[in-house]
Amino acid sequence: MDLNGSQMLIEALRKENVKVVFGYPGGAIMNVYDEVYKQNYFKHILTRHEQAAVHAADGYARASGNVGVAFVTSGPGFTNAVTGLATAYMDSTPMVVISGQVPISMIGTDAFQEIDAVGISRPCVKHNYLVKDVSELPRILKEAFYIARTGRPGPVHIDIPKDVTAQMGKFEYPDEIKMQTYKPTYKGNPRQIKKAIEAIALSKRPVLYIGGGAINSNAANEVREFAKITGIPAVETLMARGVLEHDNPLLLGMLGMHGCYSANMAMSEADLMIAFGPRFDDRVTGKLSEFAKHAKIIHIDIDPSSIGKIVDVEYPIVGDLKNVIEAMLPLAKEQIDESKYKPWRDLLNRYSEIHPLRYQDSDEVLKPQWVIERTGKLLGDKALITTDVGQHQMWSAQFYPFSHPRQFITSGGLGTMGFGLPAAMGVKKACPEKISINFTGDGSILMNIQELMTAVESKIPVVNIILNNQFLGMVRQWQTFFYDKRYSSTDLTMQPDFVKLVESFGGVGYRVHTKAEFDEALKSAIESNTIAMIDVHIDRLENVLPMVPSGGTLYNMMLEYKE
C-alpha cells in the first residue's frame, strides 16, 4: 500500500507492537506528530524535555525487556536527547530514537534548527541512519528494531528529514531481516564450554562474577540454577542486582568501588573467575594489575569485542548467556562436586561476618541506609527501584533487598544525574501493577524536575524519595577524603521547598525528619496514586562505605572514616 513517510513510521510501530512512545514535537517532526494525532495504536507521552523522553523510554525498556521508543525534533531537540542515548548505550538498553531533520535540500546549509545528528550520535549508539528516500524507510525501521533488541542490545538512532516524512511510497514491511555484516552468535562453542567446565572442576576457589548481560539475556533462572548445583559463591555488579535473590546464601553482594568486603575479597583471592556477561568496568576492577591476579578467567558474552578488551581471558565463550549456561548445566551436574568448595564458602562467609555492610543507626537523625532498608522491608518485591546518581544510588544498591531481575534500574556506565524521575515514569508505564520508587538526591532531582508536570498530566504515579543532605553528596565525600574538606561548589543548603514545589505541579509532598514520619509519608504517598515527593532530611555527612579509592585495589578498602 502507498503511504507517506510519517504514516510508514506509525504503521511500523504497530507491527513492532509498540505500546508507548515518549516524545516532544517540533518543526522538523510535525508531519509525524500529525499522524500520531490520528492513530490509536500506541500511547504517546508528552515529556517536558527531550532528555527526559529518552530516559523514560530507557526506563520502559529496562523494566519490560522490550524496545523503548522516543521521538524528538531536529537541532536542539536532538542535542537534548544525546545524554539519553549515551546513557542507554553505556548500559546496553534496547531503544529506537527517531529525530526529525531539516529537508534534504537544506542539509549542510546551517538551516534553522539544523545539526549533524547522525555525526553527533555515532559514538553513542549501536547504529544510526539518515533516511534519504522514503523507499528506504520500511527496511530501515525493521533493521533498527532488529539491531536494537538482538545481540548486545543498544540504542539505534534514525534521523528523518521533514520532506521524507511527507513523501509517498510503497510500504512493504519486511517479515524478517538478514544483514551480511551483523550476525550475532547465540550458541556457545561446545569445545570452549567443555574446557570451561573442566577448569571449574579443577578449581578450588571459583567465583561467579555476574554482570548486566545476565539481565539482558533473561538468564537469571539459569544463573540461579548454575549457582545452586555448583555451590560456587557469587558477586554481582551494579547492573546485575536482583539476578540472585538478596537472601541467596551464595550471594556475597555487590563488588567494586562500593562493594561488600566479602565480595571484593572473593575476587581478590579466587583462583577462577566465571564471568557471566560483565564488561569489567573500572569501578569494578580498580587497579587492573592487581585485579583478580590469582584467577584464570572464563568470560561469556554475546559481544565478542567485550571479551579480552580490559583483561586477558583464558576461556572466551561468545554467545547468548542464557543459551551458554543451558549448555553448561548438564556438564556441571556430571563433573562438579559442590561440597568441594565448602572451605572456600566458609572463608568468604567468615569475611561477611567480620565486615558486613553496616551503619550506625540513630534516633536523632535519619540515616539514608535506614530509609532504604525500611522501604525494602515495607515494599519488598512489590516495588521497582529507580535511582539517580550519587550516594543514594550506592546506598540503594547496597541496602535494598532485591529479589528479581529488572527490579533495579539505574544509570551505571554514564552515571547520569537526572535519569531517575523520567526513567521511573517509563518503569511505571511498563509495569503499572508495581510501585515505582525513585531514590534520588537533592542535587539529582532538580536536573529533570520539569517532568513532575508530565507525571501529573499523564497520570503516572511515581514516589520520589529525596535523601536530602543539602550536598552534592558523593562529590562532598571525595572532597572530605581526598581534598582536605575543601567543599568547592558542593553545598546545596540553598534549595527549594520540595513540598511546595511538587504541590505546585499538582502532586503531593511530605517533609520527613523522623522514622515515624517516614512510614506515614510512604504509606500516604503510595495511596495518593499521583506523583509524590518525600523530602527526607538525613545525616548531612554520612559516607558511602566500604570504598576503594580511585585506582586502588579491591583488597585495600576503606571500611570506615576517621577524622
Coil/strand/helix, residue 298? strand
State whether 446 and 325 are in the same domain.
Answer: no
Would 176 be classed as within a structural domain?
A: no
Q: What is the pLDDT of residue 192?
A: 98
Q: Is 419 a catalytic residue?
A: no
- What band does 563 get if pLDDT is binned at 50, 70 and 90? confident
CATH number at residue 423: 3.40.50.970
Which residues does 258 contact at the CB level (< 8 Å), separation at least 6? 394, 397, 398, 544, 545, 546, 547, 548
State whether 343 and 389 are in the same domain.
Answer: no
Q: What are phi and psi of 458, to 5 degrees?
A: -95, 5
Give, in order, the Cα–Cα distances in Å from 30 to each of 9, 25, 101, 167: 13, 6, 11, 14
Cell readout for 536 is 527526607
Q: Is 222 a catalytic residue?
A: no
State whether 442 and 344 are in the same domain.
Answer: no
Give residue-wise pLDDT tens across range 219-260. Answer: 999 999 999 999 999 999 999 999 999 999 999 999 999 999
Last residue of a domain, one of 331, 354, 377: 354
Number of domains, the chain? 3
Give residue-wise pLDDT tens across range 366-381. Answer: 999 999 999 999 999 9
State whether 256 and 318 are in the same domain.
Answer: yes
State whether 381 and 520 are in the same domain.
Answer: yes
> Above 90 in pLDDT, residue 302?
yes
Give residue-wise pLDDT tens across range 129-166. Answer: 999 999 999 999 999 999 999 999 999 999 999 999 99
State whether 533 and 413 are in the same domain.
Answer: yes
Q: Which of 124, 133, 69, 76 is nearest to 100 (CA)?
A: 76
State whether 335 and 459 are in the same domain.
Answer: no
Helices assigned H by DSSP within 380-472 = 391-399, 420-430, 451-457
Q: Tell me what the pLDDT averaged over the chain comes to.
A: 98
Would 391 be classed as within a structural domain?
A: yes
Q: Is 50 a catalytic residue?
A: yes
State whether 129 and 51 are in the same domain.
Answer: yes
Q: What is the pLDDT of residue 47?
A: 98
Q: Is 474 a catalytic residue?
A: yes
CB atoms within 10 A of CB 361: 11
Would 543 be classed as within a structural domain?
A: no
Catalytic site residue from 39, 43, 112, 377: 112
> Domain range holding 407?
368-537
Give residue-wise pLDDT tens across range 391-414. Answer: 999 999 999 999 999 999 999 999
Measured between alpha carbons, how far is 123 from 125 in angstroms, rounded to an integer? 6
> Above 80 in pLDDT, residue 303?
yes
State whether 272 and 389 are in the same domain.
Answer: no
Coil/strand/helix, residue 396? helix
Would 549 be classed as within a structural domain?
A: no
Residue 456 zone, left/alpha/beta (φ > 0; ψ -120 to 50; rest): alpha
CATH number at residue 263: 3.40.50.1220
Cα 219–chain centre separation: 16
Catalytic site residue from 11, 16, 35, 50: 50
Catalytic site residue from 30, 113, 314, 481: 113
Measured between alpha carbons, how far is 145 from 154 in angstroms, rounded to an integer? 10
Would 375 be classed as within a structural domain?
A: yes
Would 555 be classed as within a structural domain?
A: no
- Helix (H) and strand (E) counts in the chain: 21, 20
Cα Rg of the chain, angstroms: 24
DSSP letters for 465-506: EEEE-SB-HHHHHHHHHHSTT--TT-B--S---HHHHHHHHT
Catalytic site residue from 90, 254, 267, 474: 474
| Four-point Cα dihedral 479, 481, 484, 489, nearest 10 | 10
State whether 268 and 379 are in the same domain.
Answer: no
Last residue of a domain, one of 135, 170, 205: 170
Q: What are phi and psi of 214, to 5 degrees?
A: -65, -30
> Above 90 in pLDDT, residue 561?
no
Per DSSP bridges, beta strands 463-468 and 95-101 are unpaired
State whether 341 and 378 are in the same domain.
Answer: no
Q: Is 112 a catalytic residue?
A: yes
- What band does 562 get if pLDDT is binned at 50, 70 and 90? confident
Would 177 be classed as within a structural domain?
A: no
Give residue-wise pLDDT tens across range 445-487. Answer: 999 999 999 999 999 999 999 999 999 999 999 999 999 999 9
Last residue of a domain, one of 295, 319, 354: 354
Catalytic site residue from 126, 142, 162, 322: 162
- What band does 91 get if pLDDT is binned at 50, 70 and 90? very high
Give residue-wise pLDDT tens across range 24-69. Answer: 999 999 999 999 999 999 999 999 999 999 999 999 999 999 999 9
Cell readout for 289 is 594489575
State whether 374 and 312 are in the same domain.
Answer: no
Question: What's the rounded mean pLDDT across residues 104-122?
Answer: 97
Q: Which of 412, 413, 411, 443 is nearest to 424 (CA)?
A: 411
Would 552 be classed as within a structural domain?
A: no
Cα 429–chain centre separation: 16
Question: What's the rounded mean pLDDT across residues 289-293?
Answer: 96
Decide: 420 and 467 in contact? Cβ < 8 Å: no
